[in-house]
Copies of this chain bind each other. A is one copy, B any other.
């Protein structure tokens, strides 16, 4: 139904609602009783399914959103006196109002600059030079957090991940992956979930579903269950243990069933490719970053951006205008109508 709409909403993939498959799974549960707080069959099945998908025994915990998945992951791995290295534009650094600091009881986020939303091993080494190991006056680097796909719609290749995780291991740090758009990166790279995570050295993953078809569901996945330690107490103490947990787990179950998650991501990524190609052909528009997932960053004049908005398009500027030009962030969703993409390209000309 939405697929025939023309509403040009490119503001965010979290503006779209939930897929029929996932909503149907909730209705199927109905009012019947089951065990509370995650001690139910659906939650168990989701964990088993994630073990299959990741080709490994994992500890997996449903939560309701990405900020929580990120913060609980980091708080489990990083002590209050720890430091977390991440890209300067990482969601955890700029868009979570200090949630990681709250959950970790005051750990320090260390922003690292890097092209295309990615951080490079050399930049990590450079940043680490400011922290002396065992020196009680310095926060102690304890984790690196990577976003996959990145906030700029790019993706780390397994080789890039491996290089970063190697640096982390060398310095005794853990690696967290913010996978709010994990499926989109997976489709973009064409690798397996295992290759994109633990086979490259990732320790814990915020496995996102909300932006790709669910209402409010993510999973925190520890690739070494021993790392999960006191995660369950932290989840409870922060109000994130849902009593009727099966309604969160059921979203994940439907998300993972029949490759629904991959189909949704494939569709969104495909639309992004189509949009990027269409815009690239317009004089005066430049695609600013490689399009590896479901985001298109298009540099254009402020006047043209205004024209698009006047035509009904919704999107955010990324940063402040520079020299009369803006960087428009155009997000594609599993539910973005085909027509909306065509219409935007048309309007941009």
Contacts and interface: CB of A to CB of B under 8 A. Distances in A.
A31 B14 contact: no
Nearest to A81: B233
A244 B17 contact: yes
Interface stretch (A46-54, A94-102, A157-165, A291-299): A94-102
A77 to B, nearest CB: 14
Specify how many copies of this chain sit in the oligomer. 4
Given A64-B64, A237-B99, A106 B108 contact: no
A12 B236 CA distance: 18
Contacts of A197: none
A23 B83 CA distance: 39
B232 A244 contact: no
Interface in A93-133: 94-99, 101-109, 129-130
Contacts of A130: 94
A206 to B, nearest CB: 11
A98 B99 CA distance: 16
A234 interface: yes
A282 to B, nearest CB: 24
A240 interface: yes
Interface in A304-349: 320, 333-335
A88 to B, nearest CB: 9
A64 B216 CA distance: 10
A45 to B, nearest CB: 17
Contacts of A335: 31-33
Which has the most chain B C-beta neighbours within 10 Å: A2, A104, A136?
Answer: A136
Interface stretch (A65-73, A144-152, A166-174, A184-192): A65-73
A108 B98 contact: yes
A136 B16 contact: no
Contacts of A72: 239
A260 interface: no
A200 B36 CA distance: 34
B36 A31 contact: no
Given A105-B80, A236-B96, A242 B216 contact: yes
B237 A81 contact: yes
Contacts of A108: 98, 101, 109
**Of A2, A17, A334, most B-chain CB atoms within 10 Å:** A17
A295 to B, nearest CB: 16
Interface of A: 1-2, 5, 7, 9, 11-12, 14-20, 23-24, 26-27, 29-37, 63-68, 71-72, 79-81, 83, 94-99, 101-109, 129-130, 136-140, 210-211, 213, 215-216, 230, 232-244, 246-248, 320, 333-335
29 contacts: A2-B31, A12-B243, A15-B34, A15-B35, A15-B36, A17-B31, A18-B30, A20-B30, A23-B27, A23-B30, A32-B335, A37-B136, A63-B239, A64-B242, A65-B239, A81-B230, A81-B237, A97-B136, A97-B233, A98-B108, A98-B139, A98-B237, A102-B105, A104-B106, A105-B105, A106-B106, A136-B232, A136-B236, A210-B243
